[in-house]
Structure 1
Amino acid sequence: MNMIALSVNQRAVQALAEPRTNLADFVREKLDLTGTHLGCEHGVCGACTVLIDGVPARSCITYAVACEGAEVTTIEGLDEDDVTTELRAAFTREHALQCGYCTPGMLVSARDLVLRLPQADERLIRVGLSGNLCRCTGYVGIVRAVQSVIEARRVRNIPPEPGGGRKILGPVGSGRSLDRGADRAERVRPVASGQTKLEAANAVDTIPDFIPATVLTQHFNVAHPSEQVFAMFSDIAAVAACLPGALLTAPPKPERVEGTIRVKIGPIAATFSGAARVESCPADMSGRIVGIGNDRRSRSSTQGEIRYSLVPIEQGAATRVELSIGYSLTGMLAQVGRPGLVRDLAARLIAEFAGNLDRRLSGASTGDIAPAELSGMSLLSGLLRTRVARWFGRFSSNKDGAA
């Protein structure tokens, strides 16, 4: 894994990526920008076209690590762009789209033509769009749409931009290495070998923010005042002791917590090793934990964010803990991690954590709180009980309705 830093849709992004990860998979899976579509995955169909430093490029044949320091713009980043707004209206007016799968890449390429071409020349437009394939429209409406936008802009005395943002000859981004090579070498770190003491996630200097692919919301109540619960949450070691399967591997600090968490359900087992940072706001008794980790055995990696807010209840004698849990998972485990199963597992983990937290606040010793790892049988039985209750509930509802 490499940690790469780049700008996506005018937003600074830092995330882990394998050297083989292409830019299309990176923006879709890491940033949840699914407007970039994958078709041929050979750089032929053009469905994956994005802007790299303002120039159209095939993201399916561009490595994400090669975009270190680059400015990437996907179709989502063109929502407020004047040219793209005109093109969207023209595509609708001229019936230039049907299934819409090619449309994001088509709009990015069409925008480049509108900027560069001095006149609405049909031949040049067809040549310029020849790298974007459409199996629905026959291209006639697409060409008319691009022509109409070019004509309208020239009538308004908006001149073409020579080169359309291109500053050098050669492939998109090829000149970046000339002035950013040293900077890139400093920021891109290779993966630590399997014999190093810590996993690659632990070697990362900073814990990056990210856009979660999935967000779950949960809550639970504890019979203790909010001030006492917030003080407990500020004790990182105590919180880790309440989380089943968690183990700290270094003295914790708010800016950096290193450790592992082990999950095992039946034959599926994973030990994520990583690092996190902890933020808290005493004014409103809220906080956030952001972390990254990877499981070497399954070659899976994850980024997670937990936001919590403490709400006094029962006239201040108890506390409602509201949680927002966001995560992104890649690798083998992402292929088998069904959202429903993950949601049920998260609910069970939170219930275990809430019980441990309540016992700790009541004065129980650390040894009486959390098991060394998550109990696969107890978690599985809990999930089965929940599922069976749902099935019986649906059966009863259907029976009552039939009656």
Structure 2
Amino acid sequence: MSMIALTVNRRAVQVSAEPRTNLADFVREKLDLTGTHLGCEHGVCGACTVLLDGVPARSCITYAVACEGAEVTTIEGLDDDSVTTELRAAFTREHALQCGYCTPGMLVSARDLVLRLPQADERLIRVGLSGNLCRCTGYVGIVRAVKSVIEARRARDIAPMPDGGRKILGPVGSDRSDADRTERMRPVESEPMSPEAVGSVASIPDFTPATVLEQQFTVAHPPEQVFAMFDDIAAVAACLPGASLTGPPRPERVEGTIRVRIGPIAGTFQGAARVERSPTDMSGRIVGIGNDRRSRSSTQGEIRYRLVPIEQGTRVDLSIGYTLTGMLAQVGRPGLVRDLAARLIAEFAGNLDRRLSGTSPGDATAVELNGMALAFGLLRARLAGWVGRFLSNKGGAT
């Protein structure tokens, strides 16, 4: 496994991957950015096109390790991009998509044309899009959409960008030097420490999470009571399934363990954390590091919380960020971790509510992710999505 540090959608990430992993699989499987599609996997169809250092590139034939220090932008990173916004509207208006499988890569390539071409020349547009194949539309609507956006932008006196940001001739990304990488990359922590080193860490470092999950739960108690409860570190740890303290807790350093089980795979992470609180807006942050000796896996984690008063009590908004390396990273897909986090938080919320009500939260057993339960959970989510789209389409047709 190689540790790869790069910037994806303006966020620095550092994730381990096999040297043979291509960039498409890297962003899809490691970062859960599934808007990048895989088609031919030979660099021919263009479905996997992303921006590498601002230039369109085939991510299926680009090794992720070769992108060390690069800036990668997937279709998700273009949500707020003005050119892509215009193209999306034009694609809808001109009926430039049907199944939509080629559309993410088509939009990335079309954006490059809108930036570069001095005028809406249909021949140049067709040549520019010749590396993006579509089996549905016949390309007429696609060409019209791109042409209309170029015409509209040039009419607004938006000048073309010479060479679309390209600086030198050669393969995409070939202009990256070590100095460029150092300047562009935001600080990223080095590889997590060995299990033996965690106990010797004097202070818990900040880091940039590779994956961030958003969660929330509610309790039927006022925010002031919940926030005061969060100041009792030992009580909070007692509410967290699988967690236990190994020493007297202090805000600047809390040492303990947490046990996690994913089907037959179990891990006991020993680590330390620091706790920060802001009484003015009833928010806080917990930053920690941990290692599982048995699997030689390491993790860094960050939990940000904010208490929001609601009619029935308090809503707790959570942002959970983490980086996982080692053997357990092989099963630490974002979907699995998201399901595990949801189950853990549900149990934590129940234990917290019982403690606030004056009853015991019960024993701290390892939170477990059952394979069949996960399969049924994913199936339920998929069916709910299908039903929602069907009802939406039906409503739009009536």
TM-score class normalised by the smaller sequence = 0.5 to 0.7
Question: Relative to structure 1, is the Cα distance of residues 274 and 6 closer, same or farther in structure 2, using a 3 angstrom cutoff?
Answer: farther
1:160-309 → structure 2 map (5 Å cutoff):
160-180=160-180, 187=188, 189-190=190-191, 196-198=196-198, 205-208=205-208, 212-213=212-213, 215-219=215-219, 221=221, 228-233=228-233, 239-247=236-244, 254=251, 259-264=256-261, 267-272=264-269, 276-291=273-288, 297=295, 305=303, 307-309=305-307
Q: Is the 8 A contact 2:256 2:271 kept in 1?
A: yes
Give the Å deviation of 1:93: 3.2
C-alpha distance after superposition, 1:88-139 (max 9, x if no partner): 3332333211111211210110111122233444443333222222121122
Q: Is the 8 A contact 1:256 1:278 kept in 2?
A: yes
Distance 1:66 1:312 in 2: 49
Query: Which residue in 2 is equivalent to 1:45?
Result: 45
C-alpha distance after superposition, 1:178-234 (max 9, x if no partner): 4246677985734656x75449x9999423357634524242659x9567525424x
Distance 2:63 2:271 in 1: 24
Give the Å deviation of 1:166: 0.5
Which protein has the larger Cα radius of gyration, Structure 1 or Structure 2?
1
Question: Relative to structure 1, is the Cα distance of residues 227 and 99 closer, same or farther in structure 2, using a 3 angstrom cutoff?
Answer: closer
Indicate the SS of the match to 1:212. Answer: strand
Query: Which residue in 1 is equivalent to 2:382?
Result: none
* 1:351 paired to 2:345: no
Question: Relative to structure 1, is the Cα distance of residues 264 and 50 closer, same or farther in structure 2, using a 3 angstrom cutoff?
Answer: closer
Query: Which residue in 2 is equivalent to 1:331?
Result: 330
* 1:18 paired to 2:10: no
Give the Å deviation of 1:61: 4.1
Q: How many residues align?
A: 360
Q: Is the 8 A contact 2:217 2:349 kept in 1?
A: no
TM (normalized to structure 2)?
A: 0.68
Give the AA of the match of 1:307: Y
Q: Which runs of 5+ in 2 are unaligned?
A: 323-328, 374-398
Q: Is the 8 A contact 1:36 1:48 kept in 2?
A: yes
Q: Is the 8 A contact 2:204 2:289 kept in 1?
A: no
Q: Is the 8 A contact 2:243 2:256 kept in 1?
A: yes
Question: Relative to structure 1, is the Cα distance of residues 171 and 143 closer, same or farther in structure 2, using a 3 angstrom cutoff?
Answer: same
Question: Relative to structure 1, is the Cα distance of residues 292 and 44 closer, same or farther in structure 2, using a 3 angstrom cutoff?
Answer: farther
C-alpha distance after superposition, 1:140-170 (max 9, x if no partner): 3222332333344445554432211001222
Give the Å deviation of 1:352: 3.8
TM (normalized to structure 1)?
A: 0.67
Give the AA of the match of 2:259: R
Percent identity, aligned pairs only?
58
Distance 1:301 1:192 in 2: 9
Distance 1:54 1:375 in 2: 43
1:40-79 → structure 2 map (5 Å cutoff):
40-64=40-64, 66-79=66-79
Indicate the SS of the match to 1:176. Answer: coil
